[in-house]
Homo-oligomer: A and B are copies of this chain.
Amino acid sequence: MREHNIAILAGDGIGPEVMAEAEKVLAAAGQQFGFSFRAEHQLVGGAAIDAHGTPLPAQTLASCEAADAILFGSVGGPKWEHLPPNEQPERGSLLPLRKHFNLFCNLRPAKIHPGLEPLSYLRADIAAKGMDVLVVRELTGDIYFGQPRGREGEGEQEYGYDTMRYSRFEIRRIARMAFDAARQRRGRVLSVDKANVLTTSMLWREEVIAIAADYPDVTLEHIYIDNATMQLLRRASEFDVILCGNLFGDIISDEAAMITGSMGLLPSASLNESGFGMYEPAGGSAPDIAGQGIANPVAQILSASLMLRHSLGEGAAADAIDSAVSAALADGCLTGELLAPGSQQRPLSTREMGDAIVQRI
């Protein structure tokens, strides 16, 4: 029987609750498809700050290094918000993990599930057309990591600065991921930049166009980031793969996620070149509902499915989980935040939702 090593970093807030359901689903899929897991549970984020004084302790990192993939929950909460921004749980765990494992490729699908159109924040006639986009966001470059950065000068002339930066190599590498993904989907790539202003974006556009030549079957269009935030509201249904640098991808992927109105359903993957990856829900740790057993585990479960597909070579099991989730939703298995306002239906608990998916695998 195949055995996969995974590091499980449940984190804070609803992280542990939804992670328990994802583990249940993984076990069920393993049983059916003939593989098992060796999982190491480690602290991360606020929980790790409380226990060890740092959001990413050495032993957590060591566990990740020994694993085939990282299944990540969510981190952060009011308890740690007084900390300086770059010592906070999110910033202090996510950025170092991305950099350490060279997780350059962030996949963030955002989809309005059939039947859940009323949850979308878009006007009904637009939401009715649906949305199914995959944001492919570069994750280890750009202004997040560019050097130099710092402060110079004195008094009111003191200034802070950061460097946006992309090499041809980095652009090509992420562009290929987007074009490859588009081939498996509806064959369209929309590349987001600000090439009317930024030198980095001009190079970005040049390289994306060069890569497109290898994919004559994929359609490429370009859009400025400001216009992208607008067109996503006006004609979300027309977009397929959205390719972005790190900063613009941060913005667009969150806008797209919020548009669905069902953030609890959205997974994400962050991959490196050797197939290692970190998998986490798109939403946050939701401290306001933590511990009540009402959080939606689907985003965590679909993140586990992405892990099976992209890092563990278990595509069939991933398909089975995805289908089970779709079937459960189609059968009306819904946690509270997915119910229409005023609905008389009893919401499923976190555990019941996990069970509903396990049953359908």
A binding-site residues for B, Cβ under 8 Å: 85-86, 88, 90-91, 95, 120-124, 126-127, 143-144, 146, 149-151, 153, 155-170, 172, 194-204, 225-227, 229-230, 233-234, 247, 250-251, 253-255, 257-259, 261
Contact status B160-A203, CB under 8 Å:
yes
Contact status A162-B229, CB under 8 Å:
no
Copies in the complex: 2
Chain B residues with CB under 8 Å of A144's CB are 197
Contact status B167-A157, CB under 8 Å:
yes
Complex CA distance for A227 and B164, rounded to whole angstroms: 21
Complex CA distance for A119 and B172, rounded to whole angstroms: 40
Chain B residues with CB under 8 Å of A225's CB are 250-251
User: What would be 19 A-B contacts, judged by CB atoms less than 8 Å apart?
Assistant: A85-B197, A85-B202, A88-B196, A121-B122, A123-B123, A124-B124, A143-B143, A143-B197, A143-B198, A146-B161, A149-B198, A149-B199, A151-B203, A157-B167, A159-B165, A160-B202, A226-B251, A230-B254, A230-B255
Chain B residues with CB under 8 Å of A170's CB are 159
- Max chain B C-beta neighbours (<10 A), residue from A88, A150, A158: A158
Complex CA distance for A257 and B189, rounded to whole angstroms: 25
| CB of A170 to closest CB in B, whole Å | 8
Contact status A233-B121, CB under 8 Å:
yes
Contact status B149-A159, CB under 8 Å:
no
Chain B residues with CB under 8 Å of A226's CB are 250-251, 253-254
Contact status A158-B164, CB under 8 Å:
no
Chain B residues with CB under 8 Å of A146's CB are 161
Nearest residue (CB) in B for A252 is: B229
Complex CA distance for A91 and B201, rounded to whole angstroms: 14
Known: A156-B172, A168-B155. A162 touches B199 (CB 8 A): yes
Known: A123-B121, A164-B161. A91 touches B197 (CB 8 A): yes
Known: A124-B124, A254-B229, A258-B229. A163 touches B163 (CB 8 A): yes
Tell which of B85, B127, B159, B168 touches A166, judged by Cβ atoms closer than 8 Å: B159
Contact status B121-A124, CB under 8 Å:
no
Known: A156-B172, A167-B157. A230 touches B258 (CB 8 A): yes
Contact status B156-A95, CB under 8 Å:
no
**4 further contact pairs, Cβ within 8 A, besides A162-B165, A164-B164, A251-B251:** A121-B234, A153-B167, A160-B166, A163-B164
Complex CA distance for A124 and B123, rounded to whole angstroms: 6
Shortest Cβ-Cβ A-B pairs, 3 listed = A160-B203, A230-B258, A159-B167
